[in-house]
């Protein structure tokens, strides 16, 4: 495995190259497809940068809510099952806060320029 450049540096460099050097050279449908590709690279860069910390925080919140340990997917499945069975609802302490924090973490990766996300960041969450 290579130490330098990192996957984050590589995806960012490719996105920047396409955005700055190639975008001015194309038009029409090809320009649209290029913007889609750049957006995908930007998304992957954000995932690589933020996902590990977001997943760790999500696991800790889920452990506290559910009183059990496990991988993030298993814990989410257990939470969904408990919600479906009516064992957990918005009256459950910590659930609303967990769902809000998880949503904000996901938006930070998927849609960081979304106006409502930015507005909520400005409110302090």
Q: Please check the confidence at residue 38 and state whether its pLDDT lies above 90.
A: yes
Q: At what angle do helices 72-84 and 28-66 cross, to 10 degrees?
A: 70
Q: Please check the confidence at residue 59 and state whether its pLDDT lies above 60.
A: yes
pLDDT at 24: 96
Q: Please check the confidence at residue 80 and state whether its pLDDT lies above 80.
A: yes
Cα–chain-centroid distance for residue 124? 18
Q: Would you call 47 helix, strand, or coil by DSSP?
A: helix
Residue 68 region, left (φ>0) first, then alpha (ψ -120 to 50), else beta? beta
pLDDT at 8: 93
């Amino acid at each position: 495995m290579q130490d330098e450049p990192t996957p984050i540096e590589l995806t960012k460099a490719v996105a920047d190259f396409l955005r700055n050097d190639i975008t001015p050279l194309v038009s029409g449908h090809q320009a649209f497809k290029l913007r889609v590709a750049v957006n995908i690279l930007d998304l992957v860069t954000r995932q690589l940068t933020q996902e590990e910390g977001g997943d760790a925080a999500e696991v800790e919140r889920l452990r506290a809510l559910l009183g059990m340990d496990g991988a993030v997917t298993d814990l989410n499945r257990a939470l969904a099952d408990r919600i479906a069975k009516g064992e957990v609802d918005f009256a459950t302490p910590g659930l609303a806060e967990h769902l809000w924090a998880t949503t904000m973490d996901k938006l930070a990766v998927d849609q960081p320029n979304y106006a409502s996300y930015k507005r909520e960041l400005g409110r302090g969450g």
